[in-house]
Amino acid sequence: MEVKPQMTEGSLKSLLKSESADTPSGRIIRTLSERGSLSAAQIARITGLARSTVSTAVADLRRSGLIFDADPPESAESRAIGRPATALRLNPEAGTCIGVHLAIDELRVAAADVSHSVISEQNIPLPLDYGPDLAAQRLKDCIARIYAENGLRQSGLLGVGVSVSAPVSPDGSVHRSAIVPNWAGVNVVSLFGAALETTILIDNESNCSAIAEHMWGAAQGQDNFVLFTVNNGIGSAIMVDGRIVTGLAGGGGEVGHISLDPEGELCRCGNRGCLELRASFGWALLELSRLHGRPISIDAAVAMALHGDAGAIRLISDAAEVAGRGVAILGNILNPPLILISGALAKSGAILLDPLRTSFEKHALLKSRELKPEDRTRIIPGALLANDVVLGAVGLVLRHHGRIG
């Protein structure tokens, strides 16, 4: 395809649109948007394009200013001694995107450019029962402020990714959720799209966490993994061949509501004996708060455990035992090479991870001791525990832009 000599925001937007998706330039641009930086050889492998086709299109895109070399060799000497393959990257000036997490009492907002650099992160406080219209207005104000403060043009905004604490249907509607009851049935793609006048992409928070870990964190280069989040609730996400498994209506990967005991306690979902009731830390916080006679947050409980509080350590260990059973169920279904443990409780490190791994080993069909080292499922903490959800919302735009809307 013909590429204009001058780089414009419009040319990047048009190459990211679905009608350009099958041109070589469109495929290269979308692959770089999704993956960050890649060599020409990696682009050829991922897109399935011939090396010569990639070379021709890359030369055109370089001339247009849309892509450039990410890591030029430092000196003539380093070029002479085995020059590394040049990594290509989108020009950060070619476009920006916004990610927002609809948290329980605030909006967490991040802005990034198409080269995957994060420009700004902000938290906007909101009342506990805030609704969609207020959120859209505050988000619009926040985006305007971020762009003004950083000297960015709003015309370069490629889209807004939204993370919500509930399953999301393929058309962008929020399913029923006890965490965000005001949002049940709301079509965020239409509502935010009209308010913000840009492309909106939305997914649930665990899927966003998995996307962030894949793009920037502990799952970089690993296209098959499971993410298991331990907070006041349980979240999980499944990535297969680089794609999140969302299922038919957006209910894929909801492992927290597998019933381990059909006669057990009633869960917020209406089921009995769900994994979430004992693997999450909600019930443990009630016990800990009762014992100490004051409300204790999950972060405070983790801090207590890290300072050696025997009660907090025991409660995390108890949750880890049940979480390990849940992770083993996933292990028996998927046998993934990697399981990332995320969420506030993962900040306790080995206090959670050691008993969780032991429980996984006990409940999984394949035992690590019987497997070659390279065949053992690795269970490690996520690398972005502080902001994985909002970064993943940014990732929704970088990965999927142009596929809906």
Q: Which residues sit at the interface with Zn ion, rule CB under 5 A? A: 257, 267, 269, 271, 274
Closer CB to Zn ion, 271 or 358, in the complex: 271
Closer CB to Zn ion, 226 or 277, in the complex: 277
Closer CB to Zn ion, 265 or 354, in the complex: 265
Closer CB to Zn ion, 273 or 405, in the complex: 273
> Smallest distance, Å, CB 206 to Zn ion?
15
Burial tier of 84 (Cβ tally within 10 Å: 0-12, 13-18, 19+): exposed
Backbone phi and psi for residue 141, each to the nearest 5 degrees, phi listed first: -60, -40
Amino acid at 232: N
Closer CB to Zn ion, 73 or 273, in the complex: 273
Burial tier of 376 (Cβ tally within 10 Å: 0-12, 13-18, 19+): middle
Closer CB to Zn ion, 257 or 314, in the complex: 257
> Smallest distance, Å, CB 265 to Zn ion?
10
Measure Cα distances from 395 to 110, 221, 388, 401 in Å. Answer: 10, 15, 10, 9
> Smallest distance, Å, CB 362 to Zn ion?
23
Amino acid at 64: S
> Smallest distance, Å, CB 227 to Zn ion?
19
> Smallest distance, Å, CB 247 to Zn ion?
17
Distance CA 402, CA 16 (A): 6
Distance CA 192, CA 279 (A): 34
Residue 67's nearest CA partner among 43, 101, 102 is 43
> Smallest distance, Å, CB 228 to Zn ion?
16
